[in-house]
Structure formats: C-alpha cells, structure tokens
C-alpha cells in the first residue's frame, strides 16, 4: 500500500498550475449520458474518482477516446445498460450523479446505493425525493435505487430542505429533458454547480439563475454535442496556499480563478500571508509564523468545509488560539486525533475545535488518513513537523489531489511516495 514520507522544515517556493476541479468534472462527465452524441471534456484531473466515473460510463456502453492533450471524448449514443453496479459505485458517493441523467434520457435507472468517505451523513433521500417530484417511481430494495418514469419526467417545483450540491446537480440534469418547466429553490450555489450548468447550456439546455439559489430549467427535447473545459480546483489551490502560509515561501498558482476563493484568501491574509491576484493567477508570500485564525464552515460563498482540516493544521502551529466550527458535516474531525499525535493542542467540543498554537512546533509521527481532506491536513502538518512523517492510507488523497507529491516536490518539499 502506498504511503507518503515527508521530511519537514523546507520552505515552498515556485510556480504550479491548478488542476481541473474533480467536483465539477464528475457531474459534467455524468451529464454526457443525456446526449445521443459526443461530449468532449478538457482540463479533467487524473484522479481515482474520475477513473471510477469513466468506468461506470463504460460499463453502460459508452465509448471514450483521449487525445494528446488528455481531453476526453465521450460517446454515449450506444448506451445499452442502465445499471450502475455496486462494485463500482461503492467507492465513490458521486456515482449517484448518473441517476438523474439516466432517468431523463432513458426513463429508467438502477443505481447502487453509494459509498465513499465516512465524514458524516450524506443521505440520498434528497436525490430520491426530487426524482419523485419529477414523476419517477422509486424502489430502494436490495441496496439499489430502482427508478422508472414511463412517458418521461415532468417539470416540477423542487424546494430542497437542506442545501445539497450533488442533489442540486442531479435535479438539474434530470430536469433538462423533462417536459415543461422545473423551478429549484434553495439550490446549491457552489461554483462547481454553476460549471455543470454552463456545460449543460452549451449542450442546448435552457437553465437560468446561475450562481443563485433559484434555478429555472425549461425542458428541451434533446441536447447536442459540445466541447467544455472544466474549471480549476479551488480546494486544491487553497490547500497549496495554506501549505505555503505554514511553511513560509513564495508561490504562484497559475490557472486559478481568485474570485472563487475570496473567503479563503481573506482568512489566509488574516493569518499574515501577503496575497496578490489577477484574472487567472494567485501569488502568496509568507515570511513569518502564521497568526491563529477562526473559521466557521458553511455552503458557498462562505468558508468551505473542504478547507476546515487544512486550517486546523495551520492553526496548530500558529501564534495564539483559534476556534474552528464545522457546520456542514457532523463527523469531520477525525484528523484531529492524528494531529494531536504530532503535538497539536486541540480540544473538541461538539462541532467546534479549540486550538492553541504549538510554539514548539509539531513533531513527526506515523499518521493515518481517514478521508480526503483529512489526508491533506496531515500532509500539511508533515511539511512543518520536525523529523520524517509517514502518512498511511493515502488512497484517500489520490481521490482529490492530482500528483500531490510531484507538485509539492516541484515547490521544494521533501516528500516521496513509497510502497510497503
């Protein structure tokens, strides 16, 4: 099993290019099911979750080709299997994103109940409820969601009781081919949702309200082929910027969209980082110990839950005390015990972590990743800890960070991937 070995103490300096956003690429790849034509998707990150989605599409009968730039051309005209098998779905919760497109185009779907990171309750009932509102009949026996909509889906009013990113994406995709108009309220406003909608509109969908919590979808008879480039990964970008805020140094990330990171950049500025941004790049300089910075997670445009773990690592070596409040997932502090093993002074009370900056710094230790963002926080801790830190179960990090050890090594980190 692969592990990362990290020798702490090196500053990070240099230039890297942002990868495409996994959380935008996954629903965009799933949306290809809506077509009876080809979708060409570029700037797709090379990640395990992407491979899983492509395997699911392939198992349904889709054909994929790759050009020299690694653009993916997906031809779903010959899909003949409407089942997403458990063996593929179990490793990734985003697999449920094929439910809406299958129902919209084929009026039938059979999708295994998904698995993925154990970071709290991510109920599929929100997905099922919106499909029922669109006219589908759903049965959830034997570990599968079996859905049918004879005659096709019908536009409806969908009001989400809880903001859900994948639920919004599934509902939008299903509604694109539904008869009549669908209005989605309390929709997720995340940039990745907007990226999906931009792709769908390029394919001929009629969706308005981009970037707001109310989306209006006028159903169309069919979509057409398109070429689309996936947005940059704002969480990957924010993770590397946080790493440099911890280690010190000077980094420029190309291919960024700074406006998508306003709240994170503000908090890194509060921690002492000097930040310059233009239309498509961010420069961060840091030459002092970071200042402890409070955060409270919430859906976009507020502080992202996917950066909570990395900021706990930063606060563990910062000057002063900080409170980190997790409002999105109820079980997303599993990395805290590993950071404590490295010398972090962290106390948990309910959904709040109270952190006292460790003046003496963190110490290396063997640690174990428990989910995607937890693994990133441990890598960041290893970059500043004295000694050599071994991070186990890094298959989690490979789900969301493209070649993380290569990019960090390019910036000067002493990090290697080993197999044991």
pLDDT at 121: 47
Which of these ranges, 81-90, 217-226, 254-263, has the smallest mean pLDDT? 81-90
pLDDT at 123: 67
Do 321 and 292 meet the contact criterion of CB atoms below 8 Å apart? Answer: yes
pTM reported for the whole predicted model: 0.93
In this predicted structure, the answer to whether residue 118 has a pLDDT above a threshold of 50 is no
Half-sphere exposure of 167 (CA within 13 A, CB side): 24
Q: What is the pLDDT of residues 52-85, one digit of tens each?
A: 999 999 999 999 998 877 799 999 999 999 998 8
Domains, the chain, with CATH or none: 2-19+232-419 (3.65.10.10), 22-229 (3.65.10.10)
Closest CA to 23 of 306, 252, 359, 222: 306
Q: What is the pLDDT of residues 223-246, one digit of tens each?
A: 999 999 999 999 999 999 999 999
pLDDT at 13: 98
Residue 130 appears among annotated catalytic residues: no
Distance of CA 98 to the CA centre of its chain: 17
Do 89 and 145 meet the contact criterion of CB atoms below 8 Å apart? Answer: no
In this predicted structure, the answer to whether residue 120 has a pLDDT above a threshold of 80 is no
Active-site residue identified among 88, 117, 197, 355: 117
Do 104 and 153 meet the contact criterion of CB atoms below 8 Å apart? Answer: yes
pLDDT at 115: 56
In this predicted structure, the answer to whether residue 330 has a pLDDT above a threshold of 80 is no
pLDDT band at 116 (very low <50, low <70, confident <90, very high): very low
């Amino acid at each position: 099993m692969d592990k990362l070995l990290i020798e702490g103490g090196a500053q990070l300096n240099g230039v890297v290019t942002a990868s495409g956003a996994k959380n935008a690429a996954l629903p965009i790849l799933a949306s290809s099911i809506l077509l009876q034509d080809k979708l060409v998707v570029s700037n797709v990150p090379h990640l395990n979750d992407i491979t899983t989605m492509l395997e699911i599409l392939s198992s349904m009968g889709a054909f994929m080709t790759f050009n020299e730039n690694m653009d993916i051309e997906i031809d779903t005209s010959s899909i003949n299997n409407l089942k997403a098998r458990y063996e593929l779905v179990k490793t990734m919760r985003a697999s449920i994103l094929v439910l809406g497109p299958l129902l919209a185009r084929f009026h039938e779907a059979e999708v295994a109940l998904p698995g993925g990171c154990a970071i709290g309750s991510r109920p599929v009932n929100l997905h099922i409820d919106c499909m029922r509102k669109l006219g589908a009949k759903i049965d959830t026996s034997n570990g599968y969601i079996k859905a049918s909509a004879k005659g096709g889906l019908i536009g409806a009013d969908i009001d989400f009781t809880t903001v859900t990113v994948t639920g919004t994406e599934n509902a939008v995709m299903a509604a694109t081919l539904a008869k009549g108009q669908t209005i989605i309220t309390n929709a997720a406003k995340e940039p990745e949702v907007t990226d999906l909608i931009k792709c769908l509109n390029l394919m001929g969908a009629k969706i308005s309200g981009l970037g707001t919590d109310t989306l209006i979808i006028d159903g169309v008879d069919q979509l057409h082929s398109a070429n689309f480039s996936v947005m940059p990964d704002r969480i990957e970008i924010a993770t590397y910027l946080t790493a440099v805020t911890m280690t010190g140094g000077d980094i420029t990330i190309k291919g960024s969209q700074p406006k998508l990171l306003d709240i994170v950049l503000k908090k890194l500025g509060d921690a002492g980082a000097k930040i310059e941004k233009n239309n498509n790049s961010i420069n961060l300089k840091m030459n002092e110990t970071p200042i402890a910075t409070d955060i409270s997670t919430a859906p976009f445009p507020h502080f992202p839950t996917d950066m909570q773990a990395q900021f706990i690592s930063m606060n563990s070596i910062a000057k002063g005390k900080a409170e980190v409040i997790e409002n999105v997932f109820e079980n997303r502090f599993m990395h805290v015990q590993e950071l404590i093993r490295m010398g972090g002074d962290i106390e948990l009370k309910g959904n709040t972590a109270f952190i006292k900056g460790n003046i003496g710094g963190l110490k290396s230790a063997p640690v174990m990743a428990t989910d995607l963002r937890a693994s990133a926080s441990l890598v960041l801790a290893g970059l500043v800890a004295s000694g050599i830190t071994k991070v186990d179960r890094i298959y989690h990090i490979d789900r969301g960070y493209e070649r993380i050890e290569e990019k960090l090594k390019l910036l000067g980190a002493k990090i290697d991937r080993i197999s044991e």
